[in-house]
A and B are shown apart, each in its own frame.
Chain A
Amino acid sequence: MHHPTGEQFSLRNGAARAEIGALAAVLRSLRIGDVHLTEPTPDDALPSHGNGIVMAPWPNRVRGAVWQLDGAPQQLDVTDPELGNAIHGLLRNTAYRERERTDDTVTLGATIYPQHGWPFLLDTWVRYALHEDGLTVTHGVENLGDARAPWAVGAHPYFRVGDVPVEQLTLTVSGDRWVELDANLNPVAEHSVDGGLYDLRGGRLIGELDLNTNFTGLTTGPEGSARLETPDGASLNLWQDEPFGWLVTYTPRDFPGAQGRGLAIAMEPMTAPADALNTGEGLRWLEPGERWEGSWGVRYRSGA
């Protein structure tokens, strides 16, 4: 069978299983035993709503699909035509290739070639390492060109905790600031979450939330940046290395699930916020030959 997401890679470790597709190095499925930790993408489908894709060399949007390099405007392809932006980087339609593989790990690589609005040559890779209780995802890059190049990266997983309806999960986000967006979903200001709608530090039921919200001021490191919890105490902990200083949470209500369209939650670790190519925030400039790696991951704990 020819799969819409290209070559498939299956990982196993104890009762844990992960499925990864070559297209956009997409995380198609992650489960511990029969407890699904992500919204699975069916074999015959493209990922819906960006489910599980890698976003490089920038996550989220570039305002108007234009940015400035040394004073010269760079016109990217408009990949978010409805809102006139460039969205989710340049590898969304690229088949990664296998570089290393064991039973519980796979490293997939893809070169980013010079193209419209992007005069750089980068080697990029993604390493998925499956654990008995979760997953570690490491993103890497090396600048193969002769000019310094901007870099940011993110991932777009939709999480769940088994069959518990997403409405009934409690979402906790450690971020103490949130980013206000304009009508085209580009950032205009950053605010404290204190006591407001986006103060999720104490946890809120997802059914009561309507989010397409970029958080920062997160707790990075092994302690965890955000958490999903079921009524019976099972939890999924998201952790982000220090360079992954931003998290987008997104709660579409038209996500196609096994029982029809409904609520889902994307939790997107990112090294930079939306429109970083223009604001410079979180953007890393790589010298020729320079390499970078950073990780995020999830850990599952069963309930009472």
Chain B
Amino acid sequence: MLTPTGERIELENGSARAEVGTVAARLCMVRIGDVAITEPIDHDATPVFSNGSVLVPWPNRVRDARWTYDGRVLQLDVTEPARGNALHGLLQFTEHEVRERTDASVTLGAAVPPQHGWPFLLDSWVRFELLPDGIDVTHGVVNTGTLSAPYATGTHPFLRIGDIPTEELALEVPAASYFAVDDRLNPTGELEVLDTPYDLRAPRLVGGLELDTAFGGLSTADRVSATLVARNGATLKVLQDDDWQYLQVFTTKIYAGPNGLKTAIAVEPMTAPPDALNSGLGLRWLEPGELWEGSWGLRYAEGATR
């Protein structure tokens, strides 16, 4: 069935279920048994706040939608007109093709063609592998063009733990630094979190957070870059491979759910911080023919009491 998120691919493994949409290789739903671990997107709904979208070939923003390549200023399309930036890469509304499929996994692929401000040709793919207790997601790219090409990636899942109100969950992020931003949400510097509201190294209730913030200096043990904890002890861990050294956290109180507006939280693993096309931070330059893959994931564990 064709939906506003494209074709829906259904995955299953044990009691786990997931749905992926072909537009933006979007993670539309993941649940373990009857516990949803992401904000689901209904079949007839248009996603809000980029929920579940893959971010390629850059996550977050490019300041003024302009960057400099080989001494030339390149003008990207302005995809965040209110702030004058280019946001979330070039595949936000691109339909992907299904390349491989099993009961528990699917690989979706799409070319990133040359276009305004982007003279490169990439082949991009995303592999979703559903696990009994979570999901592993591998982003891959090969430079199919003739120029050395910059690349960064990220993802935009909104997390939850079943029906527990998101404001009652506690968030822990083992990040030593955060990126300060200007009024257009472009980075002005990487600062230490110590003694700031951005120190999440000890868990804090999501209801008390107001974040649209990139974190760096991650000290990940066992790949864990963020943990949501419910009062009943249930946990949802975000995992990131070594190449994913950054994490964006976005909280909102106006997420449109089935019962009206509510609090929601996006936890966004990234290989580069905001404005990487200009700063070069985390940016990977791929030679023609060069291939890269890297993974992030989610793991759920139920609490002692339910």
- Chain A residues with a Cβ under 8 A of chain B: 2, 4-6, 23, 44, 46, 65, 75-79, 81-82, 90, 92-95, 110-111, 113-116, 119, 121, 144, 146
Any A CB within 8 A of the CB of B77: yes
Answer whether A119 and B115 are a contact pair too, CB < 8 Å, given A77-B78, A81-B75, A81-B77.
no
Contact of B81 among A6, A78, A90, A95 (CB under 8 A): A78
Min CB gap B80→A, angstroms: 9
- Which 4 pairs of residues, A with B, have the shortest CB-CB distance? A78-B78, A2-B144, A115-B93, A114-B46
Q: Across the interface, do B123 and A114 meet the contact criterion of CB distance under 8 Å?
A: no
Q: Across the interface, do B146 and A95 meet the contact criterion of CB distance under 8 Å?
A: no
Contact of A77 among B2, B44, B81, B144 (CB under 8 A): B81
Most chain-A CB neighbours within 10 Å: which of B65, B75, B111, B145?
B111
Min CB gap B78→A, angstroms: 4
Any A CB within 8 A of the CB of B282: no
In the complex formed, the residue of A with least CB distance to B115 is A93
B residues 223-255 near A (Cβ < 8 Å) are none
Q: Across the interface, do B23 and A95 meet the contact criterion of CB distance under 8 Å?
A: no
Min CB gap B53→A, angstroms: 11
Any A CB within 8 A of the CB of B257: no
Q: Across the interface, do A144 and B2 meet the contact criterion of CB distance under 8 Å?
A: yes
Q: How far is the CA of A23 from the CA of B78 in the complex (A)?
A: 21
Can you list 6 A-B contacts with CB-CB less than 8 angstroms, sorted by A residue number?
A5-B113, A81-B77, A82-B75, A95-B111, A113-B6, A113-B93
Answer whether A79 and B4 are a contact pair too, CB < 8 Å, given A4-B113, A6-B113.
no
Q: How far is the CA of A279 from the CA of B239 in the complex (A)?
A: 50
Q: How far is the CA of A92 from the CA of B90 in the complex (A)?
A: 12
Min CB gap A118→B, angstroms: 9
Add 6 more A-B contacts to A93-B115, A113-B95 (CB < 8 A).
A6-B113, A79-B77, A79-B78, A81-B76, A93-B94, A113-B4
Contact of B121 among A2, A65, A82 (CB under 8 A): A2
Total count of chain B residues near the partner, CB < 8 A: 31
Answer whether A46 and B114 are a contact pair too, CB < 8 Å, given A4-B121, A65-B81.
yes
Any A CB within 8 A of the CB of B72: no
B residues 143-157 near A (Cβ < 8 Å) are 144-146
In the complex formed, the residue of B with least CB distance to A65 is B81
Q: How far is the CA of A94 from the CA of B115 in the complex (A)?
A: 10
Q: Across the interface, do A111 and B113 meet the contact criterion of CB distance under 8 Å?
A: no
Q: Across the interface, do A113 and B123 meet the contact criterion of CB distance under 8 Å?
A: no
Q: Across the interface, do B115 and A92 meet the contact criterion of CB distance under 8 Å?
A: yes
Q: Across the interface, do B113 and A95 meet the contact criterion of CB distance under 8 Å?
A: yes
Q: Across the interface, do B116 and A79 meet the contact criterion of CB distance under 8 Å?
A: yes
In the complex formed, the residue of A with least CB distance to B75 is A81
Q: How far is the CA of A78 from the CA of B78 in the complex (A)?
A: 5
**Residues of chain A within 8 A of B221, CB atoms compared:** none
Q: Across the interface, do A121 and B81 meet the contact criterion of CB distance under 8 Å?
A: no
Q: Across the interface, do B4 and A93 meet the contact criterion of CB distance under 8 Å?
A: no
Q: Across the interface, do A2 and B123 meet the contact criterion of CB distance under 8 Å?
A: yes
Answer whether A75 and B82 are a contact pair too, CB < 8 Å, given A81-B77, A93-B90, A113-B6.
yes
Min CB gap A87→B, angstroms: 10
Contact of A23 among B23, B113, B145, B146 (CB under 8 A): B113
**Residues of chain B within 8 A of A77, CB atoms compared:** 77-79, 81
**Residues of chain A within 8 A of B295, CB atoms compared:** none
Min CB gap B124→A, angstroms: 12
Min CB gap B143→A, angstroms: 10
Most chain-B CB neighbours within 10 Å: which of A46, A79, A113, A115?
A113
Q: Across the interface, do B2 and A111 meet the contact criterion of CB distance under 8 Å?
A: yes
Q: How far is the CA of A116 from the CA of B80 in the complex (A)?
A: 9
In the complex formed, the residue of A with least CB distance to B65 is A81
Q: Across the interface, do B78 and A121 meet the contact criterion of CB distance under 8 Å?
A: no
**Residues of chain A within 8 A of B110, CB atoms compared:** 95
Min CB gap B2→A, angstroms: 6
Q: Across the interface, do B79 and A116 meet the contact criterion of CB distance under 8 Å?
A: yes
Q: How far is the CA of A35 from the CA of B241 in the complex (A)?
A: 56
- The interface bits of chain B over 126-154 (1 if a CB of A lies within 8 angstroms of the residue's CB, else 0) are 00000000000000000011100000000
Q: Across the interface, do A114 and B78 meet the contact criterion of CB distance under 8 Å?
A: no
Q: How far is the CA of A5 from the CA of B113 in the complex (A)?
A: 7
Q: Across the interface, do A2 and B145 meet the contact criterion of CB distance under 8 Å?
A: yes
Q: How far is the CA of A121 from the CA of B115 in the complex (A)?
A: 23
Any A CB within 8 A of the CB of B186: no
- The interface bits of chain B over 1-12 (1 if a CB of A lies within 8 angstroms of the residue's CB, else 0) are 010111000000
Min CB gap A187→B, angstroms: 21
Contact of B95 among A6, A90, A111 (CB under 8 A): A111
Q: How far is the CA of A114 from the CA of B146 in the complex (A)?
A: 33
**Residues of chain A within 8 A of B146, CB atoms compared:** 44
Any A CB within 8 A of the CB of B92: yes
**Residues of chain B within 8 A of A79, CB atoms compared:** 77-78, 116
**Residues of chain A within 8 A of B92, CB atoms compared:** 115
**Residues of chain B within 8 A of A146, CB atoms compared:** 44
Most chain-B CB neighbours within 10 Å: which of A23, A76, A93?
A93
Min CB gap B77→A, angstroms: 5
Q: How far is the CA of A95 from the CA of B94 in the complex (A)?
A: 9
Min CB gap A107→B, angstroms: 17
Q: How far is the CA of A6 from the CA of B92 in the complex (A)?
A: 19
In the complex formed, the residue of A with least CB distance to B120 is A4
